[in-house]
Amino acid sequence: MTPAIQFLRQHGVAHEVRSYEHDADNHAYGEEAVGRLGLDAGEVFKTLIAQTDQGELLVAIVPVAAQLDLKALAQACGARRCAMAGLDAAQRSTGYVAGGISPLGQKKRLRSFIDDSAQSLARIHVSAGRRGLEVALTPRDLIKATAAVVAAIGRSR
């Protein structure tokens, strides 16, 4: 039981947990989830931790099929610039390890932003807090649970 799943259960959020055997040599975590679970890359969202030029850590949730647009994230959060946060800072603030960072049940609640493409989907998949573990839920429930701002923060690769 991960903190993400505990969070969903405590808040009565409908969800489905899906698991697969993670290959320790595979560091393309989102793509691995897509392939192992037979999902569309536009329905699986990765959780990234970014940092503003003022040092604030942010959660950015974008499709595996896209890249995080740091300029768009900066605009959405009201910062001049954003960059990817360091691995140590991301893991320390969320309580999760890379490849298993969930937008749910994080150790420290950070401002969250989700790509607007999520709104067109019936369900999305995000990390459930461990490599090889995904959770499916409605975008609306994820937005509500994380208090996420919806913005165009993803761009095609």
pLDDT the model gives residue 57:
98
d(C-alpha 149, C-alpha 96), whole Å: 22
Sites in the chain below the pLDDT cut of 70: none
pLDDT the model gives residue 103:
98
pLDDT the model gives residue 156:
85
- Class level of CATH domain 3-156: alpha beta
Sheet holding 124-130, edge to edge: 16-19, 133-137, 124-130
pLDDT the model gives residue 7:
97
pLDDT the model gives residue 157:
75
d(C-alpha 156, C-alpha 46), whole Å: 14
For the chain, helix, strand, coil in percent to 5 are 30, 30, 40
Tokens representing 64? 């595996």
